[in-house]
Structure 1
């Protein structure tokens, strides 16, 4: 059976607080750290008892790494593995959405397994980094690839800490406020052509109740 997915947007980072998209790979703001504390407390006390997190996947960008460690620290301390994955990074090539070399991240975040990160990371603009280009074709293909990979994993429950643009336009069609999350199951079993997600009723406004209920079509408003 395909796993249940808990899709999380990172908490507020400096570029969210300042609207300055030229900050390279920004850290969390003070409010963002507070949001992580709220998310951590919520996850510990509110997640249904039948959900037992088996794996945490995180975009290898500083704000998502910080969010994952601050919010899911208790799970990691209990032995849940945390692995970075370039496929879940944000969509654009702006400085705020461009990552830091893995060698630096490994030193800064030793709890995280970076061994499976695509060696081309953080390149998004050269021919080698074409899979991460800011285009509809690339983002839709990346979303499909990420979902196919999760669909075929053996774990029962997987947390993914990612970004609003990619989660909304490339994965689920839903809005995500900073540090909010949604829970999904795959709609079908067997190898499908399109990996459709069905959201849990309990997270229609986000698990913390912070997100918009409206939806968009996956792939809309992306550059051709």
Structure 2
């Protein structure tokens, strides 16, 4: 399966604004909410409504970015011109930021459900211990391959007659892992092709 990956870095978090990594599961700042909404408007303008799934880190600022930026895409099943095409929101724990500072450590399922009741079914799919990390050296060296294989599995699960496209909302540490030497500012995105190289390894290019 080949497909397009729109790799999004979450909008400004409160920990970015205050330079404080001790804010637990840092949410978006007020400016971050505005950035996320602007991100969505620009994305729709450039890409219309072609995305089949949004895959997000379960950290609060990533979920908030996904919901604030892409309500039109997530609600496309209600839009007549999309003929009832449902767009999935998938929470994928391996997209969470790598370090174990409080700002980069997620919340319990109950806290997430209280804050985001509209996506409770997606939250229920997370492992109850999804946010517990082994330390600042996590994830493991093969983590990149694990993430790309999961994104490829999601692409393969989509029913579309055209090349599938998904939005992936994540963090700087994961972006550096998946696309080395690529700079994506907060509240911005870059589009990649996901395919296998000569050694049958999945890569973004």
Q: Please give the residue correspondences for 1:82-121 in structure 2 after superposition, counting only pairs within 5 Å.
A: 82-112=89-119, 113-121=122-130
How far off its partner does 1:36 sit? 1.0
User: Secondary structure of the equivalent of 1:111?
Assistant: helix
Alignment correspondent of 2:52 = 54
Alignment correspondent of 2:66 = 68
Structure 1 unaligned regions, length at least 5: 126-132, 199-224
Q: Deviations over 1:76-100 (max 9, x none)?
A: 1113111211010001000010000
Choose between structure 1 and 2 for higher RCO, CA contacts under 8 A separated by at least 6 residues.
2
Normalized per residue, the structure richer in helix is 2
The answer as to whether partners of 2:7 and 2:190 remain within 8 angstroms in 1 is yes
Aligned-residue CA RMSD (Å)? 1.9
Q: 1:143 to 1:134 in 2, by over 3 A?
A: farther
How far off its partner does 1:140 sit? 3.2
CA distance in 1, matches of 2:68, 2:15: 19
Normalised by the length of structure 1, the TM-score is 0.77
How far off its partner does 1:53 sit? 0.5
CA distance in 1, matches of 2:168, 2:183: 15
Query: Aligned residues, how many?
Result: 186
CA distance in 1, matches of 2:29, 2:172: 17
CA distance in 2, matches of 1:190, 1:54: 27
How far off its partner does 1:188 sit? 2.8
User: Secondary structure of the equivalent of 1:196?
Assistant: strand
Ranges of 4+ aligned residues in structure 1 off by more than 4 Å: none
Q: Deviations over 1:3-44 (max 9, x none)?
A: 211110100011000101111111111111111121111112
CA distance in 1, matches of 2:174, 2:9: 10
CA distance in 1, matches of 2:32, 2:199: 38
The answer as to whether partners of 2:108 and 2:128 remain within 8 angstroms in 1 is no
Alignment correspondent of 1:135 = 137
2:126 equivalent to 1:124: no
The answer as to whether partners of 2:5 and 2:168 remain within 8 angstroms in 1 is yes
CA distance in 2, matches of 1:117, 1:147: 18
Structure 2 unaligned regions, length at least 5: 78-86, 159-163
How far off its partner does 1:52 sit? 1.2
